[in-house]
Structure 1
């Protein structure tokens, strides 16, 4: 249960929130009864729910570490959510202590916890903004004070583009972000998929998010691959061809062993913006 007895201003605890749902999937405490009930209704059809959340978290950590090893020192993590450990700056600064990270989320409860979560962390900032508003993200005073957008950036979009409908053209939005970033920047992205899953599990997820603050639009592999058009996808593991893969497989020492049921709920890739 959340340590906060009353909802902070602007936080509706009668409707599930994707950030709070994700927090619950990961075993966190910054969630409410409405979130826990919604999550358990998904788990009833999808027992690998926790595995899927941790597989996504693992992809974030491995891809961030890999980007830092390639010399990337700046990161923008959009849809960052509430996790309290092993965050983007932890992974990046373990490789490069001078790495800087801007966290972005549009959920008001994330702002409530962000100052506490990032207290004592150097080179980090949090801004409240929506993925859809590029100017609000890249032009925010905290972004500009923390990052040098004239140099390469790692743009992290972890399990967030599936909250945009096809009509909102998420592919064009991601392309516009990358066009605004310096040559040599990277996109690391994961997105939920209904491929190869039971109708019952997919329907349970769709129902919960339709009743939450953000509807989910899970996508097929070809639709996820479209996000990387015009970019140079990197091989997801040693000896692999450049491709989109399941989230558990990317960067895994043993991709076969990492190909769990939870891993198959999202596709991912890391790609470099062409010069």
Structure 2
């Protein structure tokens, strides 16, 4: 016969152990990839990536269209809509308008410096994008990398940088892991490719310790010129619990744009702020 006190003590210990185990497991991030593919399957995916690279490089250098953007984190929440334009490699222009179509914010950047005109406050701001990001709690992961790839959903991968090719837990495609180093920073990027549709579904970026810096999810692909363009982009896994949702529409191949056309002139009688 089991002594009641020992029975309940054993049951309590077992319950606590199970609770602790579940708590630990719930805190562990589950990876969406599975075991490595065999050599034949992996080679097929790598060959597809090389052809995708060629297609990405042949995409028009400039596109424009309408954009709606939702940005939220622990500090703030913003919704905006307007017009965007990007040219290779990282020039971007964003014009945010009010419901009457009048511009209230005009932003341009080459991903190193930036210019911003706020017509509501009558302020012109320019300077270091990195410094501006630190002052405004913008996640560092958004200040580095290739904006062209992020927004267009393109891939620029050298076969020598690929460290693994694995399956997907939900059978959506194959995961390619790429390791690179830029400006002294090691990055590990996981790319979920759908070979049948020929598109990128997800891009997960990690640091050298495996900490997730950002995750891009791409949906609603449409043809723009000779290339495919995601019309829906969601960015998660950022600092400050930041989440960004981007919806594009009416995206077209734009006329060739000179880089100097992205330079803004401070309007007369505007307060000028320079950020070193």
With the length of structure 1 as denominator, give the TM-score of the two structures: 0.28
More strand by share: 2
More helix by share: 1
With the length of structure 2 as denominator, give the TM-score of the two structures: 0.28
Pair member with larger Rg: 2
